[in-house]
């Protein structure tokens, strides 16, 4: 018993629409992403001024240690931070428009 070409085309169209829906929903499913270029984990600094640099994707809000920071048109950010002597912990938090959150942290040392 062979299937008709009409059924095959309908099934193929359904699979295409389903795949396209998953492709469009990938940002919703994955949530925001933070790529922190500097500083690196465990880095030791001599000066008290640190430049935090990186990129945030699919984020509507971005916070550095609880303070709002902003990205440029392509999602890149660069923010100065004052370090205290000893161990410092920095935390970046991103939230997307759907309420998904992600965090990236670094522990640093200032001599």
Structure tokens at 1: 């018993």
Number of folded domains that form the chain: 2
CATH of the domain at 42: 2.60.40.10
- Percentage of the chain beyond pLDDT 70 is 95
Confidence of residue 28 (pLDDT cuts 50, 70, 90): low
- What global pTM score does this model have? 0.71
| Number of other CB atoms surrounding residue 25 within 10 Å | 10
User: Does 26 share its domain with 37?
Assistant: no
pLDDT of 68: 95
**Half-sphere exposure (CA, 13 Å, Cβ side) for 109?**
4
Q: Which of 81, 29, 48, 84 is nearest to 92 (CA)?
A: 81
In which domain, by residue range, is 2 found?
Answer: 1-30
User: Does 2 share its domain with 24?
Assistant: yes
User: Does 2 share its domain with 55?
Assistant: no
pLDDT of 2: 67
By DSSP bridging, strand 101-110 and strand 67-69 are unpaired
User: Does 25 share its domain with 41?
Assistant: no
Checking if the pLDDT of 21 tops 60, the result is: yes
């Amino acid at each position: 018993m062979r299937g008709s070409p009409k059924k095959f085309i309908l099934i193929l169209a359904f699979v295409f629409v389903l795949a396209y829906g998953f492709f469009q929903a990938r940002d919703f499913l994955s949530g925001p992403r933070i790529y922190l270029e500097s500083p690196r984990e465990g880095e030791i600094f001599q000066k008290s001024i640190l430049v935090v640099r990186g990129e945030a994707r699919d984020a509507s809000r971005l916070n550095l240690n609880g303070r709002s920071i902003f990205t440029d048109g392509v999602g890149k950010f660069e923010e100065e931070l004052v370090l205290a002597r000893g161990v410092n912990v920095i935390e970046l938090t991103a939230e997307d428009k759907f309420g998904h959150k992600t965090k990236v942290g670094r522990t640093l040392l200032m001599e």
